[in-house]
């Protein structure tokens, strides 16, 4: 319940500094008790705790998929409980004095795994808890969210230490004072550093601005978007944009899957959508349109080109379906990016080599079923003035290291296109928005966020959102953003904290299975 009470968007984040303490105390009591099956007890209580946290913080997944919600909540609770169980076993094998280091290594390694495997669900990674309290963690530009996880775990263990000292039989006032002072410093020093870093960061982002317009079309994804007339929807969005677009506008940003026409990339220039968008940009010579779509791509040859490729039913060859971002401007080129970080169980079937037979059960969201295709790494969209932007699609915005890869490829602005309407008016779309503030801080980039509905807005490099739109309303907003070529420490070195945690986890795991004389 404490973990839940800390979580955005309604939570009070500082609660996280002692939220793990009751569970850590319980683990200690089980360890010294006469319970026969200690491991089973630790696992059972931790699973109950993590299930409550997952269920109350992410229940809104149910609005999109009941089965997906059950699987996400149950599976993530299981993984967290296994981490806590391994911590319990390792700590009791190699010594209690190593407990904070063991827990830090195991938990951060678990979160890092969540960034890179097929069942990727990073929503409750600890560092995300400060997304609504971004002024406390401006130093994420050096550490990313794993720095936040380390901070949280360290404070919890210091609080646990104070609890143990207070109830110790040989209670020593001097030790309590020293540990209290250490806890105060551990909380205050990063906050003070955050204030300083925020002040300094504001001096980095000067230069020529560029006018960006965001459109929030507010089209019902369940009952209208993929069953309505795609021509009328596109024309309506373009007309809506005219409220703000003028001759000085450089970018016009539409949300994820804004184009609902059946688009084959091989013949994209023959579609109505291309013609309408091309006609529109000709009115504004400087304009570049960034827009989302579901696209299909046909492959020549008889060999299957990828794990996600599907075979044509009535002819030879294969094709892939993509969640795509497209840039159209006044040049002859069309720039295309395929979403790489897919939602498990919705846009892809995890571990297709093993679970491929369940492919047809992948949930239909966005006009297609089954696993979508991906491109191997992020790519940026270029303009004729050599400036570049990052086309980030929905779920990708919660991956700090992945967004950092866009910046390492010269992205001067970050554009997030999303469709948060699947979840309804719940905390889900608000959490999704708040996490984008952390990406702005980690990369020190301006963000333009276009949502089909939910919250569209602009976010400055300090994580502050401006011109936030309302839920379930059409809206058009405009802002002058500033390109940056500044590279933060985190962008340059990525998830280095997680790397060291993985190394430490391997070391602890080895020692936990070796015969050790106490």
Assigned token pair, 162:
């104070």
Q: For the CA atoms of 273, 276, 277, 281, what is the dihedral angle to 10 degrees?
A: 170
Is the predicted pLDDT of residue 351 greater than 80, yes or no?
no
Cβ atoms of 412 and 445 closer than 8 Å: yes
257 and 121 housed in the same domain: no
Domain match, 478 and 392 both: yes
Domain span at 11: 2-202+495-513
Say if residue 364's pLDDT is above 50. no
pTM, full prediction: 0.94
Residue 469 DSSP code = P
Could you give the C-alpha distances from 348 to 64, 285, 370, 372, in angstroms and in order?
15, 39, 6, 6
Count: domains in the chain = 2
Q: Are residues 418 and 500 in the same domain?
A: no
Q: What does the pLDDT read at residue 358?
A: 53
Q: How would you classify residue 395: left for phi > 0, otherwise alpha for psi between -120 and 50, otherwise beta?
A: alpha
- Is residue 149 assigned to a domain? yes
DSSP for 286-353? T-EEEEEEEEEEEE-SSS--STT-EE-SSSS-EEEEEEEEEEE-SSS-EEEEE--SPPBTTTB-SSHH
Would you state the structure tokens that stand for residue 441, as one six-digit string?
A: 């801080």
pLDDT 10s digits, 265-317: 999 999 999 999 999 999 999 999 999 999 999 998 888 888 889 999 888 89
| pLDDT over 50 at 366, yes or no | no
Sign of CA dihedral 420, 422, 426, 427: negative
Does 440 have pLDDT greater than 50?
Answer: yes
Q: Are residues 260 and 167 in the same domain?
A: no
Lowest pLDDT segment from 15-24, 460-469, 507-516: 507-516
Structural domain includes residue 52: yes
Strand 475-482 with 465-466, pairing? unpaired
Does some domain include residue 298? Answer: no
| pLDDT for res 365 | 44
> Does residue 465 share a domain with residue 338?
yes
Domain match, 87 and 159 both: yes
N-to-C CA span, the chain: 37
Do residues 91 and 215 share a domain? Answer: no
* CATH code where residue 286 lies: 3.60.110.10
Q: Give percent of the chain with pLDDT exceeding 90.
A: 80
Question: Do 173 and 241 sit in the same domain of this protein?
Answer: no
Helix (H) or strand (E) holding 141: helix 140-143
pLDDT tens figures, 51-109: 999 999 999 999 887 877 888 899 999 999 999 999 999 999 999 999 999 999 999 99
Contacts of 95 by beta carbon, 8 Å cutoff, 6+ apart? 518
Give the pLDDT of residue 157.
98
Place of tokens 């990052």: 390
């Amino acid at each position: 319940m404490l973990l839940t009470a800390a979580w955005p968007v309604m939570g009070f984040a500082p609660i996280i500094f002692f939220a793990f303490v009751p569970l850590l105390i319980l683990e200690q009591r089980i360890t010294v008790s006469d319970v026969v099956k200690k491991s089973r007890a630790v696992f059972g209580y931790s699973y109950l705790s993590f299930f409550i946290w997952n269920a109350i913080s992410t229940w809104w997944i149910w609005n999109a998929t009941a089965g997906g919600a059950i699987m996400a909540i149950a599976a993530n609770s299981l993984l967290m409980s296994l981490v806590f169980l391994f911590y319990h076993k390792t700590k009791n094998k190699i010594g209690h004095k190593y407990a904070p280091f063991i827990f830090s290594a195991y938990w951060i390694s678990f979160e890092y795994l969540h960034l890179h495997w097929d069942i990727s669900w990073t929503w409750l990674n600890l560092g995300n808890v400060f997304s609504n309290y971004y002024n406390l963690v401006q130093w994420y530009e050096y550490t990313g969210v794993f720095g936040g996880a380390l901070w949280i775990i360290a404070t919890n263990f210091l609080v646990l230490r104070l609890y143990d000292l207070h109830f110790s039989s040989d209670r020593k006032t001097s030790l309590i004072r020293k540990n209290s002072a250490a806890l105060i410093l551990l909380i205050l020093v990063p906050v003070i550093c955050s204030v300083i870093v925020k002040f300094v960061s504001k001096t980095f982002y000067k230069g020529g601005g560029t006018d960006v317009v965001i459109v929030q079309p507010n089209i019902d994804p369940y009952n209208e978007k993929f069953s309505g007339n795609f021509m009328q929807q596109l024309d309506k969005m373009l007309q809506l944009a005219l409220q703000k677009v003028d001759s000085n506008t450089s970018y016009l940003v539409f949300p994820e899957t804004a184009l609902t026409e059946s688009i084959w990339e091989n013949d994209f220039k023959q579609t109505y959508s291309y013609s309408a968008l091309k006609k529109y940009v000709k009115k504004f010579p400087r304009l570049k349109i960034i827009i989302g779509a579901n696209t299909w791509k046909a492959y020549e040859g008889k060999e299957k080109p990828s794990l996600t490729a599907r075979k044509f039913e009535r002819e030879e060859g294969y094709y892939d379906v993509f969640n795509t971002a497209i840039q159209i401007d006044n040049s002859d080129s069309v720039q295309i990016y395929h979403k790489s970080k897919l939602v498990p169980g919705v846009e892809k079937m995890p571990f297709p080599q093993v679970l491929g037979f369940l492919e047809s059960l992948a949930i239909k969201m966005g006009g297609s079923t089954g696993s979508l295709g991906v491109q191997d790494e992020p790519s940026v969209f270029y303009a004729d003035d050599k400036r570049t932007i990052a086309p980030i699609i929905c779920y990708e915005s919660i991956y700090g290291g992945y967004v950092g890869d866009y910046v390492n490829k010269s992205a001067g602005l970050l554009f997030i296109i999303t469709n948060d309407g699947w979840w309804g008016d719940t905390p889900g779309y608000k959490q999704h928005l708040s996490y984008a503030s952390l990406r702005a801080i980690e990369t020190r980039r301006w963000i333009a966020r276009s949502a089909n509905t939910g919250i569209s807005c602009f976010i400055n490099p300090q994580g502050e959102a401006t011109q936030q739109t309302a839920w379930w309303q059409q809206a058009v907003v405009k802002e002058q953003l500033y390109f940056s070529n500044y590279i933060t420490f985190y962008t340059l070195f990525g998830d280095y904290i997680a790397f060291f945690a993985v190394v430490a986890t391997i070391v602890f795991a080895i020692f936990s299975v070796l015969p050790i004389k106490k």
